[in-house]
Structure 1
Amino acid sequence: MTQRGRPPKPSNLKVLEGNPGKRPLPEDEPNPKPVSPKPPTWLNTDAKKMWKRLEPELESMGLLTVVDGEAFAAACQSYGVWLECEKFFKKKNPETGQRYGRTYEYTNKAGATNITERPEVKIGQKALADFRAFCSEFGLTPASRTRLSTKSGDSEEDPMEQLLGG
């Protein structure tokens, strides 16, 4: 069965946004432990840095739980792959001493010289698009942040009361 329309938004994200639609929140929605998972060992270096930077914020907002680890790891790895591609363009080619850049020249069988885009350009673009999609899922895009509202103040209210009170 295919899903139509926008994907459903997590209830935690609706609560942070102030439940703008004023629709009742589901009462039987699964509620995984709000303990963030450990980063997987297979993440590349830049992905691990992204994990360490974003994980505390997502956990404090209740948007990262033990069951969200794989999606968050994929988001961080997408960022890491994009950054790897960007770093590649700045590296110097040992043969020419020039930076690799986003294009390269090659000579075809007919002897004509052509300039074409490096494969890393498409790989980086896809990884960045994936990362942006994951960020939207976790409420981390600039547009998502403008819709978020958190209650500030010194009163320490029960989180369950805040959730039920809306």
Structure 2
Amino acid sequence: MAQRGRKPKPTAIKELEGNPGKRELNQNEPKPEKKAPRCPTWLEPDAKKEWRRMAKQLEQLGILSEVDMAAFAGYCQAYARWKEAEEFITKHGTIVKTPSGYWQQVPQVSIAQTYLKIMNRFCEQFGLTPSARSRLVTDKSGDADDPMELVLLKGGGKGA
């Protein structure tokens, strides 16, 4: 039987958002080690690239842990398949003429849409969209030595 109402957010996401409602956080929620899982060998090459691109960043934010392997692999695999469909569309277009003379949408259009929806659901889970990120509050204490951060703090380099 399905739960009613909104899906509960993980405590790690609530902590990053700053718990604006000041509701009590779930102290009994399992707290897996905040360490990125190893990239599965069975992922497609583009999925592995996306894994390498995102895993370390999510680990540093404390969002990705060992137990998230399947969900994160799902995101990466959906990304790879969406990218493949989009590359096909870019190369061949969105419609083709059938042997009977009718114009028809290529299947890759609906494939791309399907995988984009799947990706977006995973993106919300991991805080990978601008709106999801805008709700996160991270610890900026380690950014003092970041050259870009120093430029931004000095007003974009004007008069520095």
Match in the other structure for 2:148: none
Match in the other structure for 2:149: none
Within 5 Å, which residues of 2 pair with 1:3-82?
3-82=3-82
TM-score (norm 2): 0.84
Match in the other structure for 1:147: 135
Within 5 Å, which residues of 2 pair with 1:97-136?
100-108=92-100, 113-136=101-124
Q: Percent identity?
A: 46
One-letter amino acid of the structure 1 residue matched with residue 68 of structure 2: D
One-letter amino acid of the structure 2 residue matched with residue 12 of structure 1: A
Structure 2: gaps of 5 or more residues: 143-160
Alpha-carbon spacing, 1:38–1:153, altered in 2? closer, same or farther (3 Å): closer
CA RMSD of aligned residues (A): 1.3
Match in the other structure for 2:152: none
Runs of 4+ in structure 1 off by over 6 angstroms are: none
The higher radius of gyration belongs to 1
Distance between the aligned counterparts of 1:153 and 1:90, measured in 2?
A: 43
Deviation of 1:107 (Å): 2.8
Structure 1: gaps of 5 or more residues: 92-99, 155-166
Instruction: Kindly tell me the number of residue pairs found equivalent between the two proteins.
Output: 142
Distance between the aligned counterparts of 1:36 and 1:47, measured in 2?
A: 15
TM-score (norm 1): 0.81
Distance between the aligned counterparts of 1:59 and 1:151, measured in 2?
A: 13
Give the 3-state SS of the residue equivalent to 2:104 in structure 1.
Answer: strand
Distance between the aligned counterparts of 1:132 and 1:120, measured in 2?
A: 18
